[in-house]
Amino acid sequence: MFPLERQKKIIELLMIKKVVKLSELTEELHVSIDTLRRDLNLLTKQGKIEKIYGGVKIIESKFGESAINERMVSHLEEKESIAKTCSEWINDGDCIFIDSGSTTYQIAKYIKNKRNLTVVTNSIPVITELMNSDIELIIIGGKIRKNEQSVVTFDYLFNFNELNILKAFICTSGITLERGISDYNIEEALTRKKIIEQSKEIYVAADSTKFGKDVTIAIAPLEQINYIITDQHANKDLINQFKKITTNLIIAE
């Protein structure tokens, strides 16, 4: 394994576990402690991790939500599997909403051959991905969040009541059984609230690191969510808890 591959793997492990012991890393990466220390020193200088006694931990973004460019490469394999599973729920002739976000963006890659599909979105990367396809595109008008590459909106800028969305694919920064889904940005949250109100079926696309987090702005309780699609790293106890509620938890393969 090349140094860049090892360093990427270290970050991926820390994104899941937050804190990892040095002994765990040497075993997982099959490297000597000296080789591991060189990787950790570099990642520390880059400001991505912090050394603690006997291990390392990831450095969270100061402002809670990392930029979309960072999230586009984080947990990419999991996000692609989630997106592929989402695409299997999309049929020819559907009118769907694809949210701004690194996971929902991946959906656009898997739906280009769908027939008579209409995509409503507030994601500039989704528009760019689908621009040369046969899909009919509708972008929500409003203010551009440059950091998120998304458009956020209010009632006077876009008439949501005109939309007839069959399926909405929503991103989130946090999911708990008690509080539902949540996000860091109030404008994104308000847009998602409106879309949830207007859509017949709600799908939340979220990797397993989002579970157990209740972040700044509440979007919707789980009673309003039909499906949550996540990756295979989802905790088994969590999967069992979802069997007791009406929201369906789908594990992507």
pLDDT tens-digit map of 39-62: 899 888 877 788 888 888 877 554
Report the pLDDT averaged over residues 196-216.
92
**What pLDDT is stored for residue 62 in this prediction?**
44
Instruction: Name residues whose C-beta falls within 8 Å of residue 158's C-beta, 6 or more positions apart in sequence.
Output: 140, 141, 142
Q: Give the whole-angstrom CA distance, residue 9 versus residue 5.
A: 6
pLDDT at 75 over 70: no
| Other beta carbons within 10 Å of 246 | 10
Q: How confident is the model at residue 223 (pLDDT cuts 50, 70, 90)?
A: very high
Q: Which string of b and e fits 93-112 if b means at least 16 CB within 10 Å?
A: ebbbbbbbbbbbbbbbebbe
**CA dist 99 → 197, 222, 239 (Å):** 14, 18, 25
**What pLDDT is stored for residue 181 in this prediction?**
96
Q: Return the amino acid letter for 197.
A: E
pLDDT at 63 over 50: no
pTM: 0.70
Model confidence pLDDT, tens digit, residues 97-149: 999 888 999 999 999 999 999 999 988 889 999 999 999 998 887 776 676 66
Q: How confident is the model at residue 64 (pLDDT cuts 50, 70, 90)?
A: very low
Model confidence pLDDT, tens digit, residues 160-185: 677 789 999 999 999 999 999 999 88
Q: Which domains does the chain have, with CATH numbers?
A: 3-58 (1.10.10), 68-251 (3.40.50.1360)
pLDDT at 153 over 70: no
pLDDT at 68 over 60: no
The beta-strand segments (E) located in 122-215 are 136-139, 143-145, 150-152, 165-170, 174-176, 180-183, 199-205
